[in-house]
Every structure is written in C-alpha cells, then in structure tokens.
C-alpha cells in the first residue's frame, strides 16, 4: 500500500519489494507445475515414439486397412465353410445311396448263394442217386 505521508522512495521501495515477493512467490508456486509439465511432455514423447510409424502411412490408416483385411478374411472363411457344409451334405447323401446299394448287393449275394446251394444239392442228387 502506498502511504501518502511517507517519502516517495519508501513507496517505490515498498512497491519494488511487493513486486519481488509476488514474483518469487509465483515462481516458487509454479515449480511443481513446471515439473509436472516436463513429466507430461516426456510421457507424450514416449507415447508418440511408441505409436509413430517408421514409414510414410498413418498408423490409424494402417489399422483400418488391417481391420478391413481381417473382416474380408472372415467373410472368405465363412463362404468357404458354407461351401464345405454343402459339399459334406452331398457326400452324406451319396453315402446313403452307396449303403443302400451295398445292402441291395448283400441281398443279391444271399440269393445267389441260396440258388447255388440248391443247384449243388440237385447236382449231388443227380450224380449220387443212391444216397
């Protein structure tokens, strides 16, 4: 505060002391803030170093392109899986047909065997009438 009754140099000295105290107080109060800002700057630099590319494209663009490739890969796999499922269905139907054919052939073999047995018995009776 300026004292109107004090000599002019005392008022100037008081203003100067007030300015010095205010400046020193501000500097001291801002030291932790500056330290924190330096730490934030180091952290930001580290984060940038970890995410910066060594080539010309942007990391975000690279990730988007990779995501699109992965999606396309999944779509391709799903399409091939559907085709495989249809192919397996065809094979199953064909296998059922083959099983029916084999069953039919087994019946034919039994019938031929029975006929051969009958022919053999008749031939034995014809060749050996006394038995």
51-66, pLDDT tens digit by residue?
766 667 787 888 999 9
Residue 17's nearest CA partner among 1, 30, 40, 33 is 1
Is residue 31 domain-shared with residue 81, that is, in the same domain? no
Whole-angstrom distance, CA of residue 128 vs CA of residue 83: 66
83 within domain boundaries: yes
pTM of the predicted protein model: 0.40
Q: Examine residue 65 and state whether it is found in any structural domain, yes or no.
A: no
13 and 1 Cβ atoms separated by less than 8 Å: no
- Domain boundaries, position 88: 76-131
- The answer to whether residue 58 is domain-embedded is no
How many domains does the chain divide into?
Answer: 2
What's the CA angle centered on 94, arms 91 and 95, to 5 degrees? 85
Q: Is residue 71 part of a domain?
A: no
Confidence bin at 37 (pLDDT 50/70/90): confident
Question: Are 6 and 40 members of one domain?
Answer: yes
């Amino acid at each position: 505060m300026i004292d109107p009754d004090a000599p002019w140099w005392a008022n100037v000295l008081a203003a100067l002391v007030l300015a010095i105290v205010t400046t020193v107080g501000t500097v001291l109060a801002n030291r932790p803030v500056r330290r924190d800002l330096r730490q934030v700057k180091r952290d930001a630099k580290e984060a940038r170093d970890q995410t910066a590319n060594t080539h010309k494209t942007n990391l975000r663009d690279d990730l988007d392109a990779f995501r699109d490739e992965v999606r396309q890969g999944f779509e391709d796999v799903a399409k091939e899986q559907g085709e495989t499922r249809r192919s397996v269905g065809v094979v199953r139907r064909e296998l059922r047909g083959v099983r029916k054919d084999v069953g039919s052939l087994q019946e034919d073999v039994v019938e031929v065997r029975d006929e051969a047995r009958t022919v053999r018995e008749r031939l034995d009776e014809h060749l050996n009438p006394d038995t």
